[in-house]
Amino acid sequence: MTKQNKDLQPAPYWKPLPSGITLGAILLITFVATGHGLGATGFTTRLTAWIGMYIAPIATGANDYLGGMVEDGNPLSAWITWQVIGVAIGALLSAYLARRIQLKMDGAKFLGGSKRPITALLGGILAGFGARISAGCTSGLGLSGGAVLSLAGFTFLGGFFAVGLLVSRLTKEGK
Amino acid sequence: METVISGLILGGGFGFVLERAGFGNPNKLTAQFRLTDWSVFKVMFTAIVFAAAGLMLLEKLKFINPQDLFIPPAFLGAAALGGALVGAGFAIGGYCPGTSVVGMMSGRIDAAIFLIGLVLGTVMFAGIYPSIEAVTSLGEFSKADALPEALNISSLTINLVLIVAAVGVFFLGSWMENRSKGLITSQTK
């Protein structure tokens, strides 16, 4: 491989320790600045309410879970919306600088082969549903809840890793 | 305006680091559950311990008031059940909600599909909400919301135990990574 070819390769990932410390520092600054941590599904829930406002306004407004969010106008008007837009911009910038942007269907090797679109959709549905039961996901409840030493945060992480390990075993044997 | 800027900057840092760590890559993320790449455990554990120790220090220095911090309520049954479903979704779909945004921004179509799934899952939840509302406050632990109060142990002790546990995770993880040689790099096909 010539040097020039090597320069065009995707840059290596950061090692876990510097990644973890940087992530912890950002999480700490977030708590100091806002009083809460980082999240994700707070946004997807508001996005669901926002889409519902256009596709099925009456049903969304009458819904016990989403209705309250559309009542006051725009459900996307919240800090978490800007935070997730920030995540998207930050990820794009990082991927671009490291030459890691590539349009592809990824993960087929371990996650369903040719059925990869189905595993992606099913996984998303399970995670979306589950994160509403716990009122938080890996970021909002696991990471942020862990940082404030909350019982809910560590309980979430316990369930997350135990079932993740188990399901990963089962799906591997299914092939 | 302050909301917009703080959200964009803090979220921007979050997304940047997740992508740098390789957490937009579903092969790397799920390798944690195959126990061949321990980056997810290592990064999450380090971040939690760093932030928890930092918060403790800033509280002791009276720089922040612990009452200002949001601590999720101890609905432990709901947290365990939600965690189980998000864990299953992660093992099957390859992402968790936050990392699917990172995956999509690096061009992964499967991550975009996962995000559509998140919205569908939320629709399903909202659709049957009245009948499962009770599940969202399942298993409440009424004594306390956080470990120091629940166990009656100082936060200093808990942080020290967490640091020791984190070091243990790094050793165990690296040992298993060396055994399996399955570390996922940015160039793994």
Inter-axis angle of helices B2-20 and B97-105, to 10 degrees?
A: 80
CA pair distance A150, B43, nearest whole angstrom: 19
Residue of A100, A138, A166 lying closest to B96 (CB–CB): A138
pLDDT confidence bin for A3, thresholds 50/70/90: low
Position A147: which residue type?
A: A
- For residue A102, give the chain B residue with the closest CA: B107
B102 in any annotated domain: yes
Residue of B32, B55, B125 lying closest to A31 (CB–CB): B55
pTM of the model: 0.95
- The per-residue pLDDT for range A37-60, each reduced to its tens digit, is 999 999 999 999 999 999 999 999
B94 in any annotated domain: yes
- The per-residue pLDDT for range B171-181, each reduced to its tens digit, is 999 999 999 98
B9 in any annotated domain: no
B185 in any annotated domain: no
| CB pair distance less than 8 Å for A148 and B9 | no
Cβ neighbourhood burial of B151 (10 Å; 0-12, 13-18, 19+): middle
How many folded domains does chain B comprise? 1
- The per-residue pLDDT for range A68-114, each reduced to its tens digit, is 999 888 999 999 999 999 999 999 999 999 999 999 999 999 999 99
B10 in any annotated domain: no
The pLDDT value recorded for residue B2 is: 87
pLDDT confidence bin for A5, thresholds 50/70/90: low
B4 in any annotated domain: no
Residue with token string 């790449």: B37
B111 in any annotated domain: yes
pLDDT confidence bin for A6, thresholds 50/70/90: low
Looking at the complex, does the CB of residue A120 fall below 8 Å from at least one CB of chain B?
yes
For B140, list phi and psi in degrees, rounded to 5: -70, 130
Provide the domain limits for residue B157. Answer: 15-180
- The per-residue pLDDT for range B121-173, each reduced to its tens digit, is 999 999 999 999 999 999 999 999 999 999 999 999 999 999 999 999 999 99
- The per-residue pLDDT for range A115-156, each reduced to its tens digit, is 999 999 999 999 999 999 999 999 999 999 999 999 999 999
The pLDDT value recorded for residue A174 is: 46
Tokens of B55: 């918060």
The pLDDT value recorded for residue A175 is: 46
